[in-house]
Amino acid sequence: MNALRKYHRWIGLVASIILIIIALTGLGLHIDQTVAMGELGRGPKLPPKPVRQPAELPDPTAAGTFITEGLQRIKLQQSGRHVLEVHVNYGGSETKGFAVLADLSAKEVTPKRIDLATGAQLPGPPELGGRWHLILQEIHAGRQFGWLGTIISILSGVSLLFLSGTGLWLYIEMYRKRLKANRRNLFWDR
């Protein structure tokens, strides 16, 4: 048990520095996302989800024509972009839909939402925190430091598992000794 304590302390000492950085950036990401989503009364609010009225399913031919014509319109307007998804909503009095497009040859794929009926670009969902959020994500995941950062991130996860397991085991062993000494408190008393 003394060897386990020694390993637990030394690994904990080294890992604590990295785990503090991961914890702080994770906390920053959570706060940034909460503020960006408007959950603290600031930032852009997400639009409420529409109340869906039960609707008769449209004639399959009409629905197929709507989608086909919309995709042809988009193909003419948006050359070089590929359709990733098509969303169609049959609720209400008219059929609505949009396609999600992206230029897959670009380094960074930024999808666009295009209305099937008009071919106009629709606004996307609100972005979370902008540049600050991305910087925190890079540090939190270790990607800022390349493959070395990835290895450190994985090792810190493994060390967290090790420290949690050995810490729990050490506590159970100490608690067993306390029971043998007829001290039944869960935590140390002075």
Written as six digits, the tokens of 27 are: 């906390």
Q: Which of 160, 168, 162, 166 is nearest to 16 (CA)?
A: 160
- For 33-70, the pLDDT digits (tens) are 666 655 554 445 555 555 555 556 666 677 778 788 88
- In this structure, the answer to whether residues 65 and 110 fall within a common structural domain is yes
Q: Is residue 16 part of a domain?
A: yes
Predicted local confidence at residue 175, as pLDDT: 82
- In this structure, the answer to whether residues 74 and 32 fall within a common structural domain is no
Task: Give dist(CA 88, CA 55) in Å, integer.
Answer: 13
Q: Is residue 72 part of a domain?
A: yes
- In this structure, the answer to whether residues 34 and 73 fall within a common structural domain is no
Predicted local confidence at residue 57, as pLDDT: 63
Q: What is the identity of the amino acid at 120?
A: A
Predicted local confidence at residue 38, as pLDDT: 58
When the pLDDT of each residue in the chain is averaged and rounded to a whole number, the result is 74
58 Cβ contact partners less than 8 Å away, ≥ 6 residues apart: 90, 95
Number of domains into which the chain is organized: 2
- In this structure, the answer to whether residues 32 and 86 fall within a common structural domain is no
Q: Is residue 186 part of a domain?
A: no
Predicted local confidence at residue 31, as pLDDT: 73
Q: How many CA atoms lie within 13 A of 114 on its CB side?
A: 27
Query: b/e per residue, 91-104, with b = 16+ CB within 10 A?
Result: eeeebebbbbbbbe
- For 89-131, the pLDDT digits (tens) are 766 566 778 888 777 676 656 678 888 888 888 886 655 556 7
Q: Is residue 134 part of a domain?
A: yes
Q: Is the pLDDT of residue 188 over 70?
A: no
Predicted local confidence at residue 19, as pLDDT: 79
Q: Are 83 and 74 in contact (CB under 8 A)?
A: yes
- In this structure, the answer to whether residues 96 and 147 fall within a common structural domain is no
Residue 190 pLDDT class (50, 70, 90 cuts)? very low
- In this structure, the answer to whether residues 101 and 143 fall within a common structural domain is no
Q: Is residue 151 part of a domain?
A: yes
Domain boundaries, position 149: 2-42+130-180
Predicted local confidence at residue 173, as pLDDT: 84
Q: Is residue 175 part of a domain?
A: yes
Predicted local confidence at residue 187, as pLDDT: 60
- In this structure, the answer to whether residues 118 and 71 fall within a common structural domain is yes
Residue 137 pLDDT class (50, 70, 90 cuts)? confident
Q: Is the pLDDT of residue 71 over 80?
A: yes
Task: Give dist(CA 45, CA 29) in Å, integer.
Answer: 18
Q: Is residue 53 part of a domain?
A: no
Please name every residue paired with 88 in a beta bridge, in sequence order, or none if there are none: 97
Q: Is residue 94 part of a domain?
A: yes
Last residue of a domain, one of 100, 122, 144: 122
| Helix (H/G/I), strand (E/B), else coil: 41 | coil
- In this structure, the answer to whether residues 153 and 136 fall within a common structural domain is yes
Last residue of a domain, one of 122, 147, 165: 122
- In this structure, the answer to whether residues 106 and 139 fall within a common structural domain is no
Cα dist. 141→18, 33, 167 in Å? 11, 16, 25
Last residue of a domain, one of 80, 103, 122: 122
Q: Is the pLDDT of residue 133 over 50?
A: yes
- What is the pLDDT averaged over residues 84-88? 80
